């Protein structure tokens, strides 16, 4: 961490960086009040050290911009420019094993369009094609009672 900070940013990293096994889909996290950095150990489990360095650069962009009082959030132009300059990445590749992924399936009662989601949806949600009612089904092959 300290080496990447000095080499890529020309500034020291003076706070705490830890592994956080509770992170599931994100590669790292920056805590703005405390300047603490969390990293997902799954990066090393599933990928290599090069990807970890890119994630470290991403989080250090947040860290150093925050410490300077500049725009440190993802949407700020200063963040985007610095991230590109140091060779960080915006998003990590998929970190979940397929066995850990839970999918929810919804089928429209009107046009029978199938929706596959990783999160549950609002029960009042409507179909984007026909504005029909969406009903949760067990899997993609379920056909709402054989219609």
Q: Model confidence over 63-75: pLDDT tens digits?
A: 999 999 999 999 9
Tokens 């994100």 belong to residue: 26
Q: Is the pLDDT of residue 129 over 60?
A: yes
Positions marked catalytic: 59
In percent, how much of the chain has pLDDT > 90?
Answer: 76
Q: Is the dihedral of CA 19, 25, 27, 29 positive or negative?
A: negative
CB 53 within 8 A of CB 88: no
The pTM score is 0.71
């Amino acid at each position: 961490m300290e080496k990447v900070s000095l080499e890529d940013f020309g500034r020291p990293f003076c706070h705490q960086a830890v592994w956080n096994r509770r992170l599931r889909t994100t590669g790292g996290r920056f805590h703005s009040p405390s300047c603490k950095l969390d990293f997902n150990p799954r990066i090393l489990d599933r990928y290599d050290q090069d990807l970890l360095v890119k994630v470290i650069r991403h989080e250090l962009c947040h860290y150093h911009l925050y410490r300077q009082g500049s725009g440190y959030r993802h949407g700020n132009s200063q963040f985007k420019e610095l991230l590109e300059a140091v060779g960080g990445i915006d998003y990590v590749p998929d970190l979940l094993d397929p066995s850990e992924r839970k999918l929810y399936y919804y089928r429209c009662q009107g046009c029978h369009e199938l929706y596959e989601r990783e999160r549950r949806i609002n029960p009042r949600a409507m179909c984007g094609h026909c504005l029909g009612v969406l009903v949760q089904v067990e899997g993609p092959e379920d056909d709402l009672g054989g219609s």
